[in-house]
Chain A
Amino acid sequence: MSYNSLGARVRVYLDNGTTTPVAREVLDAMLPYFTEKFGHPVFPYSLGLEAAEAVERSQRAVAGTINAKPEEIIFTSGATQSNDMAIRGVAYANRHRGRHIITTKVENPSVLRVCERLEREGFKVDYLPVDSEGFVDTAELERKLTEETILVSVANVNDEIGTIEPVEEIGEILRGRREKIYFHVNAAAGYGKVRIDVKKMGADLLSLSAHKVHGPKGVGALFVAEETPIEPVSYGYISLFKLRPGTENVPGIVGFGRAAELMAENFDRDVSCMRRLRDKLMAGLEEIPYTVINGPRGDKRSPANVSCSFKGVEGESMMLHLDLHGISVATGSACSTTKLEPSHVLTAIGVKAAVAHGTIRFTLGRYNTEEEIDYTLSVVPRVVEQLRRISPVKPEQL
């Protein structure tokens, strides 16, 4: 932990793409639902009704942020569960029509692992390539579509490099087909960063997580457009949602609803603020020699994401050194995970493994300030230089 010029401890949180702090207003809204308003929403006595009403209020709040109907929102444990429910649920319910699914090489593991499971169950999955900035090849999508295709799944924003994918264009392509092809959008990384309109996207299913937008962890949502054939992937006592049995996380759902309202109220201000800080951070980092920005620039990039590869430096060491200076970031380095391959996203956009290992992801949230960016830009070049000094790998060789 470091100290700023005023002697205060510094904690600069630049890993909002991983998770965010809960907003004060969100916590305040949640608290009564742990102790006083603790009822089970399935029972029609007053405590139950109170809880059910709270869940419905959150359905309206979340629906309002994506142009959906409240009854099209199902609460889940987070986007990971939403993705599984959407992909397997639609695959199973439509397998009589075909067993072909299309996704991309740069999806979150919560999409890729589910698709791999379906492959083992006899489905055929195509993984679309992306270009050097991470944009999905829509022409390749059109070529891959067959009579057998039942589902396409693409994230609207890439969680590692911030690429804003052409989901509306994809929705348009799918709408033009004779056979209905369901379209799932994992919007966990895009929520609160880009406007989401399920009708414009032509999305039939869309996944969200509360904790990426200053809501609590362990709660998310799945939007399922009316009349989408979908099978539940887990079974049990049905409370409010047949697709997701089990007792609802009512305090979490209340928190998500409040976080969604705050997100909508602050959207324009938050996005323009994050974009300004993003561009300042990116420009400052680019002044460090042998530094590469991953992903696109400008309007096609998430306002919250800066992904940077520092050649000759290893990402985990970088992350831990920045932590000593009070700065929290994520790394694309294989060494910080339990597998030893570099990030599949960086590999897909053509970043060499030796460079990918030196990747740091900075992600912004509502509460970051310009002073924090100034401080970060005063620390990062020193840490990069320090690590390059002890490295046998020279950046100019990579």
Chain B
Amino acid sequence: MTVDYTERGMLKYSEKLLERFRNPKNIGEMENPTVVAEEGDPQCGDMFRMFLKIENDRIVDARFLSFGCAANIATGDVTVDLIKGKTVDEAEKLQIKEIAEALGGLPAIKMHCAVLSYKTLKKALAEYRKTRSGAGPQG
């Protein structure tokens, strides 16, 4: 068995990430959202719930709830900022690495937090598309 001797036990968060963690702008419940999506599992130690308010295919408001570590809260907060005001089409183009970059980088073992917030967003957008197509062209 070989060991990666360069691996450290210590976690080092960027100042940007810590600031988001301390003062998240977009955290909390939303009344009457257009869609709500949830990803993650408390058994695994992290979970998101994302609320989107969408008008004319534009995300006019977004909020989230988080059960998770500092990176989880910060990635959720920055993801919401990155898509607010964008159209659904634009939001769908968001990439995981943009989330990490907006936080000044993420420790490797915390990349799953960006993946989770990305997956929650994707789920919410898919849900929106589904309800739209179900509602028909007039909807």
Least Cβ–Cβ distance between A352 and chain B, in angstroms? 7
CB–CB A338/B9 < 8 A? yes
A66 at the interface (CB under 8 A from B): no
Secondary structure call for the A interface:
loop
Whether B96 is near chain A, meaning CB under 8 Å from some CB there, is no
| CB of A357 closer than 8 Å to a CB of B | yes
Tell me how far the C-beta of A71 lies from the nearest C-beta in chain B, rounded to whole angstroms: 35
C-alpha spacing A193/B42, complex, angstroms = 35
Asked whether, in the complex, the Cβ of A392 is within 8 Å of the Cβ of B28, the reply is no
Within 8 A of A (CB), among B8-46: 8-9, 11, 18, 21-22, 24, 27-28, 38, 41-46
Chain A residue nearest to B22 (CB atoms) is A324
Pairwise interchain contact A333-B45, C-beta atoms closer than 8 A: yes
What is the predominant secondary structure among interface residues of chain B facing chain A? mixed
Cα A337 to Cα B107 with chains together (Å): 11
Do the beta carbons of A337 and B44 come within 8 Å of each other?
A: no
Query: Which residues from chain B contact A342 at a C-beta distance below 8 Å?
Result: 45
Known: A340-B109, A390-B65. A317 touches B70 (CB 8 A): yes
Chain B: how many interface residues by the 8 Å CB criterion?
32
In the bound complex, what is the Cα–Cα distance between A302 and B75 (angstroms)? 38
For residue B73, which residue of chain A has the nearest CB? Answer: A317
Residue from B27, B49, B65, B68 whose CB has the most chain A CB atoms within 10 Å: B68
Q: Is the C-beta of B66 less than 8 angstroms from some C-beta in chain A?
A: yes
Cross-chain contact B43 with A353 (CB below 8 angstroms): yes
Is A369 in the interface zone, CB < 8 Å from B? Answer: no
- From residue B124, how far is it (CB to closest CB) to chain A in Å? 13
Q: Which residues of A contact B1 (CB under 8 A)?
A: 120
Residue of B nearest to A313 (CB): B67
Q: Which residue of A lies closest to B41 (CB)?
A: A354
Q: Measuring CB to CB, which residues of chain A are less than 8 angstroms from any residue of chain B?
A: 120, 312-314, 316-317, 320, 324, 333-338, 340, 342, 352-354, 357, 389-393, 398
Top 4 nearest A-B pairs (CB, nearest first) are A335-B69, A354-B42, A316-B69, A392-B49
Chain B contact residues, CB within 8 Å of chain A: 1, 7-9, 11, 18, 21-22, 24, 27-28, 38, 41-49, 65-73, 109, 112
